[in-house]
Amino acid sequence: MAHEELKKQYVEDCLNYERPWKLWEIRSSQDTWCPCTSEPGWLGCCQYRRKEPPFDCEYFSGLNWREAEKYVGKMMEFSDDPDCDGWIKGKLISLDYREGLRFESESESYEYCRTCLETFQHPTIPVTVHGKTYELPKPETEAPKKGTIYWSWFPHVIRKCLWHNTPPENIELKAGMIHLTEARAQAWVNFWREIHA
């Protein structure tokens, strides 16, 4: 029967949330994903998925500064007084220890920093076709660990698979067809459709 696993997940959401449909999205055949506005109808002609969980920031100060070192070179948010000044985005350049610990951005140093969505943003690559440049998610270049779920794309279809490190999988990896999220693979399918429309 269609959508059985998703229905079980939705039942769990019904137990924990007042408006569980707000956590879900729907798509009919060729359409884009749209938020559910009411309880899913679980139609066989539609696809359903749960939205990705909201982003939780990781905060750093003089107490846990060592944990921020792994983010040097990444986009972060900075502040000296988050309640009054808010947060300013920039790249974490270094940690300065000269006059008490400070988090150095490209322009200033701050007392606090935190991760943001851009910290974990997947890199893109520019692809130019007929004078138009597309920013597309960078395909995976290293083989995932065995047992990793991945998506491979072909001009009109996406396949969800489990990585076994077989020769055909490695050919797809070298061809730039392997992604670790469905959305990244879908971006390449959409690009292919657009340039061949």
User: CATH no. for residue 74?
Assistant: 2.30.30
Q: What is the CA radius of gyration of the chain?
A: 21
- What pLDDT score does 59 carry? 94
In a domain, 153, yes or no: yes
Q: Are strands 94-96 and 102-104 parallel, antiparallel or unpaired?
A: antiparallel
Contact between residue 161 and residue 152 where contact means Cβ atoms under 8 Å apart: yes
Structural domain span for residue 22: 8-50
Residue with tokens 């003089």, as numbered in its chain: 62
pLDDT in tens, 93-151: 999 877 678 999 988 999 999 998 788 777 788 999 989 999 898 999 989 999 988 99
Q: Are residues 16 and 65 in the same domain?
A: no
pTM for the whole structure: 0.49
pLDDT of 2 strictly over 80: no
- What pLDDT score does 99 carry? 66
pLDDT in tens, 15-47: 777 778 888 999 887 778 888 988 898 988 889
Q: Are residues 24 and 78 in the same domain?
A: no
Q: Are residues 107 and 141 in the same domain?
A: no
In a domain, 143, yes or no: yes
- What pLDDT score does 19 carry? 79
Q: What's the number of domains the chain is made of?
A: 3
In a domain, 13, yes or no: yes
In a domain, 2, yes or no: no
Tokens of 35: 């938020």
Q: Are residues 65 and 84 in the same domain?
A: yes
DSSP code per residue over 61-98? -SSSGGGGGGGTTSEEEEES-HHHH--EEEE--EEE-B
